[in-house]
Structure 1
């Protein structure tokens, strides 16, 4: 009975966050066909490079201490970590501003646009910190509302200021982060507490959870850089248009990852942190893993078979090449969709060092493929090789999680066989349907 109640609570919590995230992503996807017709691949590519740089450096914002907010049993300790996060974020934001003042991005003609980055950096870091606090407080509704507001305002500004080119896209992103920060901050942290918190208490929690800045930060940097490096390097090697094409395909494929994976991952972290038995934890891992795989199959097969047609029809003829890139990226995003919610188990098990090592290996493998590929291969070949390396990395992460949690290998293998059979049946069905409809045309 207890397990059933906890399971119902888990999926109810997922549902609350998921509802807001689904609506937020629905707004983004709804305006996407208009955005792709108002902005060229080159303009979208410049914006994508900006977002990629932001995504890489933002993980340094609080040195990953925000991940520790959910762990203490005492609320007072968690609040001290919350204060610590903001005390770290403020000087790092100033440092980002100082560094960007001296760096030149003239090769991509985006130096002027990066003036927004330090301010957007602090707002984004603040949202990450406050989201973890609201998760601890079980304020799932507030998280959902903040995501809807962020997505809606971003879309409205992007559509209204399209004549500004990349600047319109960047300004919209910044304003969206600001409104999300304001909503999440309500009843969470007070400015007066930031500078009045007991110094000894801050030192105590900082030392207790020192593994996060020491190991989890490097893991997060490797992960973010591995995810975002294609956009930056493809922009450098093949031009802003290539970055834009890749970014759109990545944006479409990552939508389910952001909607479902993000919601499940957040609630999974919250619940697995509270789990009291190994059996309960492992059952939760297997349930999430299997269900995420099943959820990914249908959209994966559709994009794999009809990617170019879908992208050309929805986003316009200028973006057909993005559909081809999307088909190559399908295996990569399926693996990420399945693995991403489970990654938080590293923090719960305090295996940040192993997580950093695995993610570092994946990162360097991706970078080698991207750099060497850009020198000797075509854009399509580089994307294929990047996808293959990423899938191998995701499999290694899964194997480590199952091994560390002592989940029986035969049980995992049985799940894989079932999933593979369902995937093959879907593939055969869609191939047969495609031939039956278009084969005699």
Structure 2
């Protein structure tokens, strides 16, 4: 199966989950207030910081060995580490729950930290099995798990919230979604259980832990720095401002990231598998990196432009008037999230080339720059200034990472910049009618109609100009029965 076919296989299934999630989000935002969502986001932030380094980054090594037996032992090593991390970290946070609430200026969160070890454990298992399924090229199982996760978590949040709305409903929804997704993934590896029973032994686990020791020595710190830098904003925003501001920021980040992560996560997983394979077979990843980079630019640039033009109006219409401020935040965050969308799926190339020290330096520098940006904004006492500074740091650092990935892969900077500029000019030209409508302050329904039309035009132009993308997209439509396959 081709590289793009694997991406489409994941994104088609996940698209259903994202659409359902987007359709259910307006219900969730009308049940839970920005303050409740802010408290939930703080809980989610803490769990995410603990999940990413829970395997000491050995999960990245699952893709690298030539023999499946070696990978199975790395999986076993990761599972042991996940169990230990969830128990130890969860116990610490439960014992210090009141102190954590005081430090975060949100005493309400202390009563919910007892659920922390459960979330860390479930998400840690999901991360490990995710990489194993990617190695085995079972992207269908991964897509199904994402669908189940999205639908079940939103359904649980709505069900609990209707009875009694509180941050607990959002947390329970998170747990239900993770548990349901994990069951689907376990079913996907069921046929590998015999391999695990035969291959896994303590001696082999120790040998492979030593062989890939660069991951805990360097990548784990890089992963931790990346995780903290991603999650530092809610922690510092609640310190300087309030859970409500955290809720606005979290909703803005989630709504922008939700549809983009559909393609980002699927592309990253398939790209990691393909790049590892190409490196083992040919020693070069130039072609696959350039193709993926070009398509990420072409796909991501237009929705970000639309968001920058009418973000506030979209949030008000879809989520409710109380979330209008989140729409303003989303407009400010958009440039950073675009560059993140382009570079992040390709950043696993640093793992393929074992450049863990570069990744570590990057994520540590990014972390400290974000702390500085949030601190300066917090001192000014203005959330908008804080969000602007945070977005600027993302633009600078993820822009640099994008160029570095191209260099490592043997691609000239000029090639990447030309791709970006070409699609930006096309996007601006196609979006001109929407800019005019927004400037004239025409009714909202006209704004939405024009936005829908120009979006269809842009992607028609992109797909028609890319023969491979056009072929894959046509195949998906034929598989869905939208187009009839023409036979000679």
TM-score normalised according to structure 1 size: 0.93
Q: Is 2:51 the counterpart of 1:22? A: no
Q: Supply the distance in 1 between the matched residues of 2:389 and 2:142 (Cα, whole angstroms).
A: 37
1:300-315 correspondence runs (5 A)? 300-315=304-319
Alignment partner, residue 209 of structure 1: 212
1:42 to 18, 35, 38: 35
Query: Could you report, residue by residue, the CA deviation over 1:257-285 in whole angstroms, capped at 9, with x for unpaired residues?
Result: 32010001110001111003355x11111
Write out the 4+ residue segments of structure 1 that deviate beyond 6 Å after TM superposition. none
Alignment partner, residue 135 of structure 2: 136
Please say if residues 161 and 168 of structure 1, whose CA atoms lie closer than 8 Å, have aligned partners that are also in contact: yes
Cα deviation, residue 191, structure 1: 11
Q: Unpaired segments of 5 or more residues in structure 2?
A: 447-488
Aligned CA RMSD, in angstroms, stands at 2.1
Q: Could you say what secondary structure the match of 1:407 adopts? A: coil
Specify which structure has the bigger relative contact order, considering alpha-carbon pairs within 8 angstroms and separated by 6 or more residues: 1
Cα deviation, residue 378, structure 1: 0.7
Alignment partner, residue 293 of structure 2: 289
Alignment partner, residue 264 of structure 1: 267
Cα deviation, residue 28, structure 1: 1.4
Query: Could you report, residue by residue, the CA deviation over 1:57-86 in whole angstroms, capped at 9, with x for unpaired residues?
Result: 111211111111111110100101011111
Alignment partner, residue 415 of structure 1: 419
Q: Could you say what secondary structure the match of 1:214 adopts? A: helix
Seen in structure 2, the aligned counterparts of structure 1 residues 34 and 191 have a Cα distance that, compared at 3 Å, is farther
1:9 to 2, 5, 22: 2
Q: Is 2:268 the counterpart of 1:299? A: no
Q: Could you say what secondary structure the match of 1:138 adopts? A: coil
Q: Is 2:246 the counterpart of 1:243? A: yes
Please say if residues 257 and 336 of structure 1, whose CA atoms lie closer than 8 Å, have aligned partners that are also in contact: no
Cα deviation, residue 114, structure 1: 1.2
Q: Supply the distance in 2 between the matched residues of 1:345 and 1:256 (Cα, whole angstroms).
A: 23
Please say if residues 70 and 132 of structure 1, whose CA atoms lie closer than 8 Å, have aligned partners that are also in contact: yes
Seen in structure 2, the aligned counterparts of structure 1 residues 405 and 193 have a Cα distance that, compared at 3 Å, is closer
Seen in structure 2, the aligned counterparts of structure 1 residues 56 and 147 have a Cα distance that, compared at 3 Å, is same
Query: Could you report, residue by residue, the CA deviation over 1:22-72 in whole angstroms, capped at 9, with x for unpaired residues?
Result: 112122111110111101110011011111111111112111111111111
Cα deviation, residue 97, structure 1: 2.0
Cα deviation, residue 102, structure 1: 1.9
1:339-378 correspondence runs (5 A)? 339-378=343-382
Please say if residues 41 and 246 of structure 2, whose CA atoms lie closer than 8 Å, have aligned partners that are also in contact: yes
Cα deviation, residue 427, structure 1: 4.8
Q: Could you say what secondary structure the match of 2:52 adopts? A: helix
TM-score normalised according to structure 2 size: 0.85
Cα deviation, residue 363, structure 1: 0.9
Q: Unpaired segments of 5 or more residues in structure 1?
A: 1-7
Seen in structure 2, the aligned counterparts of structure 1 residues 201 and 268 have a Cα distance that, compared at 3 Å, is same
Please say if residues 301 and 426 of structure 1, whose CA atoms lie closer than 8 Å, have aligned partners that are also in contact: no
2:405 to 369, 377, 401: 401
Please say if residues 310 and 438 of structure 2, whose CA atoms lie closer than 8 Å, have aligned partners that are also in contact: no
Q: Supply the distance in 2 between the matched residues of 1:206 and 1:373 (Cα, whole angstroms).
A: 43
With 180-189 and 391-400 compared, the bigger mean Cα shift is at: 180-189
